[in-house]
Structure formats: structure tokens, C-alpha cells
Structure 1
Amino acid sequence: MAPKFGTRGLRGLVTELTDDLVADYTRAFLAACPHGGRVFVARDLRESSPRIAEAVIAAARGEGVDVVRAGMLPTPALALASMGAGAAAIMVTGSHIPADRNGLKFYLPGGEVSKNDEARIVAALGRPAAGRSGGVSEGEGIAGAYVDRYVGAFGAEALGGLRIGVYQHSSAARDLLCEIVARLGAEAVPLARSATFVPVDTEAVDPETTQRLAAWCLEHRLDAVVSTDGDADRPMVADHTGRIVPGDVLGPLTAGLLSADVLCTPVSSNTAVDHMGFARVVRTRIGSPYVIAAMEAALAADPAARVAGYEANGGFLLGFEAEGPAGGLPPLATRDSVLPVVAPLARARAEGRTLAGLVSTLPPRFTAADRITGIDTDRAREFLAAMRADPARRAAFFDALPPEEAIDETDGLRVTFEGGAILHLRPSGNAPEFRCYAEAASAEAAQTLLARHLGKLGTEVG
């Protein structure tokens, strides 16, 4: 499949992300979007990322733009630095997808690119190189500023007395996460550091990883295990038993601690948030550009609103000047993993609960999600169109479920059934994947729904 440009930037096979292609997208971005005369460039830990980062740097300098070489960093740390400097940024990462793929994420001085920005970038492709020579400097203090952001807001005792495992694998935040946990007062226990890239999808954790989490908790007497995906804009958190706390549970727990009143989240997120006392919950299409657009609209309507956003994968976006337990927390309207790791753990400790105990106080709605990979994208598109158009086709596919109560086509096909069960089918916008989301009144029921329909989905689109 040829490289694809979508809501999270450019992605494709490493063999197809040639230096020429990378340079073309870099030039198009710098020509189409504001950049303040500088661009910060960072990368994840994929084997291919250093080569691609150098291609980005060379192309940007050739356009006469000064480059800050930021090295290996979490995506949100890069965004925090570039936005603070009034500069653009390009992150070389494929996020959670396999190591034979990679990509680019683009940031404006004001934050993530919008759908309109994407269209302008595509329209600017094919430009000749300008033949100029921008400067280059080394980024300094970027990682430290990112760590200090959370230590300053939560304080040195926020996680005091806890033993927290840090599943390091090949996360771009693997060392910073250990440092943050330790500086917040916990004992950090590093786990499973990898010399090769491990594609961790925090929204679809594989059974082997789930078993390892439980084993680590038992072996090391842990209060929690924390981690991220490859570029560290999605969190993974497990309680003291090794049970994953879904991202769309971490999100409202974090928002509650920070006293947010308006939440923007994709249609796929757990419906428990609708019953947690927030003033308003705005549902969007899946993808941070849509969440950000909804946040911006809410702030335009009421500049004093305390607006936050989160995705089902756990990435959290802060749209207002919040107050943490120990100090201020400035806005960061890009997907972040550290805040939804720290905030629920700090909240549970402050309330004298385990993380599992805190989660148990929420409305009893449980989600499960997974994906079919390597799909035939044409078959997937045809299948989804038929499911949307034909009630009989849906009835056959959902044959074990009660009658339909509601249908939502905001993004993919989301069906609510009598009794409250929900199934949501959606092909990926930038990878040959088809995701299935399930929601029910118990974790077991959600997993059963997912397993049954994921198998059927594989037959339809595999």
C-alpha cells in the first residue's frame, strides 16, 4: 500500500518512505502552513527513524528554515517545546503500527494541523527545492521541561508510597516516565526494555501483554503498571491486578481531577462519561483533529469554559489553564500520555483508594476494542456501506443481539441495541486495519461481544 496522508500525518512502509518522498512532504508542509521561521524535528525509536529525520532536516534547511534537532522524544514533549517557541514541528514516528512502517506528524506553532491544513499540504506537493540553507541547532532542555510540567503540577508526594511498574519496551517516553514517576514520590520499577521496536497499541492490547502485566504485578508487588505507545501520545495503565484501565476511563478521571466542565471526545468513547456530572459532553469523529476542532468551537462559544478532550486510546488534550494538586498546569491541546497516567493514580492515592477501587466508583459501563489487520480495504469499504444501507444485513451480522435501538454514523457504524449493548465498526483511515469497539454493562459481556463480532468481521473483510 502506498504511503497515506490523513488525520495523523503521513504513514507508509519504510521502503516507500524514500528520502525524496519525505522531502516532498516536508517542503509542502513548510510552504502551506505557518512555521515561524523554525521547525523542531524529533523521532521515535524505530530503526528507520534516524534516516527519515535526517531527510526532514535536510529538506527543511533547503527551504531556508532553521531547524532545531530535538533527537528522540515523546511527541507531546516535542509539541510542548515547539509551541512554546512559536515554531512548527515534525515528528518522525509510526506511532503504534509495526516496525516495517513509519510516518511523519506535523505541528503548527499553535498546535496540530487541521483537516484544512492537510488539504493545503497535499495541494503543495511536488514543489521544487528552494536551494537555500537554513541553520541547525541542537534542542536543549526539552525533555526536562516536559518532566517539570508534571512534577510542578502534581508535587513530589503525589504518588508517594506506590510501587509502579514502567513497561518500557521501545516507548519514546520509557526513561522520562520512570523519572516522572520517581519524582512524584513513587518507586519506579523498569520492566521489559527492548532493543528492537515493539508496536504497542494501547487500544488493543494483545493477550500475551495482558498476561505479562498480571505476572509483573504479582512478582513485583506493584500498585500499577504504566506505559505508552511508540511515540508516547497514548497511555497504557493497568491496576494492581494487571487489568487494563481503558483510555476512555482514564480520560474522564483526569478531567474530573482538573475540574474540566466541557469534554470533547470521539463517538467511540465509553458512555459512562455522560453520567459523571460534566456540564457538557461533545461527541466527534475519531481522530485528534476532530476533537481539537470541537474544543476550539467550545472555547469560541465560551472563552471561560474549562474544556478538555480525550480519545478512546487515552490521549488527553488540555484546553485551559488547569490547577493541579501542587501547582498550575498550562494548556497543551495535543494528545498527551503522561497526564492521563499521572492524574488517575494521584487521584486514587489522594482518596485513599487503589486505582481499581477508583474505577469501581464509575457508572458500570465497560468497553473492549481490537482490530483486524492486513484487510482488503476495498472489501472493507463495501462491507461498511452495505451494513449502513441494509437493515437485513445488519440483523444477520448482529444475529445474537436484541433489536436495534439507535444508529450513529458519525464515524463508521455504531449501533446501540435494546438493553444497552453497543457495537461500533470502523475501518482505519491510514492503515489496512478494521477496528471493532464493544460496550456493555460488564467487562465480560463487552469482551464476549468483541470476540464474537471480531471473528465475523475477519470473515467479511479479511
Structure 2
Amino acid sequence: MDHLPDFAGSSLKFGTSGLRGLVAELNGIPAFAYTCAFAEMLKKDGSAAAARNRVLVGRDLRESSPDIARLCGAALRESGLVALDCGALPTPALAYHGMRFGIPAIMVTGSHIPEERNGLKFYRAQGEIDKADEAAILAWHAKMNILRLPEGARTVRSQSPDCDPIAAYRERYLDFFGTGALAGLTVGVYQHSSVARDVIVQVLEGLGARAVPLGRASRFIPVDTEALRMEDEALARTWAAEQALDAIVSTDGDADRPLIADASGTFLRGDLVGAITANDLGADTIVTPVTSNSALEASGAFETVIRTRVGSPYVIEGMLEATRSGARAVVGFEANGGVLLGSDIVRGGRKLTALPTRDAMLPILCALGQVVRQGRPLAQLGADFGFKAAASNRLKDIPSEKSAAFLLQLLQDRPFLGRLLLPLGGVAALDDKDGVRLTARNGEVVHFRASGNAPELRVYVEAATPERAEDLLEWGLAQARQQVA
């Protein structure tokens, strides 16, 4: 039997809707034990019985994901539940299937982080787990104290679901947008190792576009929509120069964050993609974290803008509050571009049901649909919102305690803060909703924030021009590096 190794200072930590860490620490007893803890939570509050003891299990295309998914299936069986193996599929497709049929789910994915890391995303039948669920899972994990795997845990074969979750996800968008909605467009699809790389092509072609598959990879590529690799940006520019493309689209690894470039191969910021999506769907209320562009309020496109902490659980909480307060059409999105649909949308007699989890397909289709309906290129559509130039990046492998100490110093040591922002004219405003967001007297924004699911310190900036934003980002990264190195 496998025995629990001693992981002093384990990398395994709960972040957005689940657990992430190094594959070497997750792929074994921890994956089994946390799944057992999730199962006990479902059993004790009646959720398992309501789902007829079924739990969906999906995965991304990382090399480690199939093995970890088998461990999840073994843990569910050990807990007296039935695992339904959905195979490799987009996270929002798994969540959509679970919500339709009232079945909880586990997605094995590390999203955008490097392949040596992986994770588990947990879903109730109603959608993503919240912070109370997270606490309950941690409590059950500690109480159960599982120290070994049962024999044969890595070879368990799970049942298949009664219907195809990917087909249902595909039909969701084909039905709402309608045949011919994207007719006349030629769209490059940067496939890399996105688990949605085939279904994106299928949906685009089903809506009348000509899809051009690009850059399909045989190994996992960590595409982070908030911190693009230079090689990804170079690829997009090259493809745009070589072919007449109206746009290039892609997603992160598990397809809950979109990546959209205009005809020149220039990628749109995720919060701009979210704004275009919300506008296309006729949202009267948007819910978005404090990291999204500060021009959202000034654009006048939305009646109400609700700001939250970073993370889909907080956006979901904000959307629920908005609907309780009487909002008609609620759309949530994060600066990474992931869109959460907080209410049903009806257009042209077609209904798109709420899907309160991050999704990449919806914003891709809304942005492309706007190009067709308005007859204008993406670059022009984006310019309508008057966004400030923004940029973001992160310092990798920064221990959480160092990031925390730096952020605390920004909040408590006002002389230090004054010296730090002196080159920008001093501090005009400070927001500590999530990390420390500083607005300088010259109107520029520098936001320092520790990642919730990786050992990283992120820096976000806003400025008047793209060139100034890049300079400001480099300055912000340098200031942070000095403090946490």
C-alpha cells in the first residue's frame, strides 16, 4: 500500500474553488484523502443522497491528470458513492452537466499553472463550493486522517455518465447563438494544450465561422491569460501576419478563461473581454474584482458595477446579492477574462440559462458575435469602452509569508509607502479589499496582490498609454522584488 510521505511545508493549498499544489505531493494519498473529505461533506448534508450518490469526475490534459482522476474515483467508491468518469473536458462543461442533473463534481486541473502542479476543483450540484464548504472539507480531511491508499486504488475504473457532457455544452451555445451567427468570420484557434481545443473549433464552425486550428501541442503548455508568455504573443502576431484572420481565440488549460486577439494578433485584456461580453448580453449589473480596469464605472455601459475580492467565489456571492436586490441581467467576470453568467438571458426568443462558474466559450462567442452584428473589428469594439492601458505580471516562487509581510508593510508603514510612490507623485487612494491597490496622484494605479493558489506575487498597473503601462509594470515588479527577494 502507498503510505503518506512527510511533506514538511506542503505546497498543497486551497484557493479558488479547490486544492492546488505540486503533482509530487498531490498524486497519491492527498488526492484520495481530500476526495474522501469532499464525499463525507456531501453525505452528511444530504447532497449525496439528492444526487443518488453520484459524483462527476473530469480532468484536463496534463500528464498527471488521468492518474489523479482515478484516485478520485477510488476515493468516491471507498466512500460509498458512484464516480461518473467524464474524461477530458472543459471545466465549465463539467459544471454545466452537474447543474443540469443535480450532480456534484470534481475537476482534476491545475488550470493555467505549470505542469508540475495540479489540483482538484470541487463543485456542488448548484455550482462551485464556497468558503464554508472549503472549511468543511478541511475539517473532514483532518478528522479522517487517511494515512494510506487501499489496494488497487490507482486502477479503479469508473462508470460513464448517461449522456455526453461535451455535446450538451456545445449545444448550449449553438442553440442560443443560432446557425449562421458567425458567418463570414475566419477565426484562428490557438489550440496548444487547452482541453477545449476541439470543441471550440466545433462550435465556431457550427455557427458558420471558418475555424483555423493553430499551434496544437503534444505537451502541456501553461497559458496564463493574465500573464501571457512572450512566445504566445509572438505566435499570435505571426499567425495574424501570415493569414487574414478576424480574430485568434484560445483558453487556459481547463477552458474557464478565454484568450482573444484581434486581427493584428494583439490580445485583449480579460476585463475588456468581460465588458464586451456583458454589453453584448445586455447586462444591467456587472460584478467584477477590484483588479478589473477602473474605467468600467466611467464607461457608462452598465447601470451598476459591484467590486469584489479576487476569486470566483466572491464574484458569485456578489452576483447572488445583485439578483436578490432585483437586478435583471447579471454578468460577472474577472480580470483574467473568465465570465460567470449570474442570471438567465433571453434574446430573440432563445434562452441561455445561468451558469455561475467561469467559462471561456461564452465571451469568445459574444466578442465574435459583436464583430458580425456591428460590422466592426475587435480593436474598434474594445476602444469604445475607453479603458486605461493596463498590464500585469507576477513574481514566481515567492513564499506566501514574504508576500504577506510586504503587503502588511504597505498598509502599516506610511513613510515607506510614501517613499515608494514618490516617483508617481505620492498616494491619492488606497484599497485593501484584496492585496493593496494604490492610486497615485498622477492617476496611475499599482496593485500588489498575493496569488491565492500559487506561490506568486502579482502586480497589476494602469496608465495612460500601453508603453507607460509596461514601464510602470516593470517598476512595480522591481519594487516588489526588492522587498521579497
Counterpart of 1:263 (choices 283, 286, 311) is 286
Query: Does the CA contact (< 8 Å) of 1:154 and 1:325 recur in 2?
Result: no
- How far apart in 1 are the matches of 2:158 and 2:399? 43
1:278 alignment counterpart: 302
1:398 Cα shift? 2.5
Report 1:97-136 matches (<5 A): 97-125=113-141, 126-127=143-144, 136=158
* 2:306 maps to amino acid: V
**1:220 is aligned to 2:243:** yes
* 1:288 maps to amino acid: S
1:27 alignment counterpart: 36
- How far apart in 2 are the matches of 1:326 and 1:272? 33
- State, as a whole percentage, how many aligned pairs show the same letter: 45
1:59 Cα shift? 0.5
Residue by residue over 1:234-281, the C-alpha shift from the partner in whole angstroms, topping out at 9 and shown as x without a partner, is 000010111110110011111111111111100010122212331111
- Is the alpha carbon distance of 1:364 and 1:335 closer, same or farther for their aligned partners in structure 2, counting shifts above 3 Å? closer
Flag structure 1 segments of 5+ consecutive residues without an equivalent: none
- Is the alpha carbon distance of 1:5 and 1:320 closer, same or farther for their aligned partners in structure 2, counting shifts above 3 Å? same
Residue by residue over 1:145-180, the C-alpha shift from the partner in whole angstroms, topping out at 9 and shown as x without a partner, is 111111111122222111111110100100011111
Counterpart of 1:293 (choices 297, 308, 317) is 317
TM-score by length of 2: 0.91
Report 1:350-361 matches (<5 A): 350-361=373-384
**1:138 is aligned to 2:138:** no
Counterpart of 1:175 (choices 198, 202, 214) is 198
Report 1:277-356 matches (<5 A): 277-302=301-326, 305-324=328-347, 327-356=350-379
1:452 alignment counterpart: 475
Flag structure 2 segments of 5+ consecutive residues without an equivalent: 1-9
SS of structure 2 residue aligned to 1:297: helix
Query: Does the CA contact (< 8 Å) of 1:155 and 1:325 recur in 2?
Result: no
Query: Does the CA contact (< 8 Å) of 2:27 and 2:64 recur in 1?
Result: no
SS of structure 2 residue aligned to 1:243: coil
1:136 Cα shift? 4.2
SS of structure 1 residue aligned to 2:324: helix
SS of structure 1 residue aligned to 2:295: helix
- How far apart in 1 are the matches of 2:247 and 2:392? 21
2:91 alignment counterpart: 75
Query: Does the CA contact (< 8 Å) of 1:14 and 1:100 recur in 2?
Result: yes
1:135 Cα shift? 9.9
- How far apart in 1 are the matches of 2:159 and 2:279? 40
1:97 Cα shift? 0.6
SS of structure 2 residue aligned to 1:104: strand
- How far apart in 2 are the matches of 1:27 and 1:237? 38
Cα RMSD, aligned residues only: 1.9
* 2:20 maps to amino acid: R
1:254 alignment counterpart: 277
- Is the alpha carbon distance of 1:239 and 1:326 closer, same or farther for their aligned partners in structure 2, counting shifts above 3 Å? farther
Query: Does the CA contact (< 8 Å) of 1:377 and 1:461 recur in 2?
Result: no
- How far apart in 2 are the matches of 1:21 and 1:364? 43
1:396 alignment counterpart: 419
1:27 Cα shift? 1.1
- How far apart in 2 are the matches of 1:377 and 1:137? 40
- How far apart in 2 are the matches of 1:435 and 1:326? 43
Report 1:152-167 matches (<5 A): 152-167=175-190
- How far apart in 1 are the matches of 2:232 and 2:348? 33
**1:47 is aligned to 2:54:** no
TM-score by length of 1: 0.96
Query: Does the CA contact (< 8 Å) of 2:424 and 2:442 recur in 1?
Result: no
- How far apart in 1 are the matches of 2:145 and 2:401? 34
Query: Does the CA contact (< 8 Å) of 1:154 and 1:324 recur in 2?
Result: no
SS of structure 2 residue aligned to 1:334: strand
State the number of aligned residues. Answer: 460
**1:11 is aligned to 2:20:** yes
- How far apart in 1 are the matches of 2:33 and 2:458? 31
- Is the alpha carbon distance of 1:230 and 1:135 closer, same or farther for their aligned partners in structure 2, counting shifts above 3 Å? closer
Residue by residue over 1:62-86, the C-alpha shift from the partner in whole angstroms, topping out at 9 and shown as x without a partner, is 1111221100000000000011110
2:219 alignment counterpart: 196
* 1:64 maps to amino acid: G
Residue by residue over 1:173-217, the C-alpha shift from the partner in whole angstroms, topping out at 9 and shown as x without a partner, is 000111111111111111111111000001111222111111111
1:392 Cα shift? 2.0
Residue by residue over 1:380-422, the C-alpha shift from the partner in whole angstroms, topping out at 9 and shown as x without a partner, is 2111111111222123323321222111000000011223211
Query: Does the CA contact (< 8 Å) of 2:65 and 2:118 recur in 1?
Result: yes
